[in-house]
Structure 1
């Protein structure tokens, strides 16, 4: 990073010098003594070139100071508020993998039905919690003055979750009666 900054500063200084040399007025020296390509007096430009180089070296020093770790105040190391567990939790695969005989079609169908019932039951439980959260947020939004469109949208979401939960309860009841 330091090398990049230093390189950019030196490049900028070189461009300043080149620009200065191009825009300088030609000297009044005779053409006999000067080569054809040189249209200016290098002696009169010397102080200005030195100024440009001094400015470039100042910029370089400032860039080094900014990037220097010595000038920056060290941030104290502190304990984070939360550390996630490093060890992996064991997955509960015993209930989600069929352990029986694959030739027993009826047993496998029963296993699939039980999986579907577990998913439906999990949705019903999660829906209760989510509906309560959404109702609290809706009440807060009404207090803080959200638009009627946003309130209708939230009410629609709550109604859809409750409707799906009711449908799944009915399906579970029908499935229990069928067995």
Structure 2
């Protein structure tokens, strides 16, 4: 039995050692990324990463996510929504998760994963509408949830019909209508 690692040779150990891991061996995801969150080769110039685990007031989350969406960085906007989903009050988690799904749907549609994009756009639209109907809140933090759901469904229909990826910045939603 080999004691040199998963691949059974010294080169596998060297490759494992070069991976960006924390002290517990979990991936830290420090690899550079492009504006749509796709990994780039180590050493390449990527866009500035969105810090993870940031606790922001909800209004700040909306503003930061909108800026990222308008800049054609829906993957990074999804990170902002995910932080709000994980750190916010339990009664708002479904809202922020739905918004994260919308951002990831746009990400996939822009990357060319059309099936995944359409699926997530529709799932996110349903999630924000369901949250609004359950809570009676149609414009939390000034966001137009009905408008966002309509945007997502229209984009999903366009992607399905055209069978082509989209420009994330040009097709970015306005969170506050």
Report the TM-score, using the length of structure 2 for normalisation: 0.26
When you count helix as a share of all residues, which structure comes out higher?
A: 1
Structure whose CA Rg is larger: 1
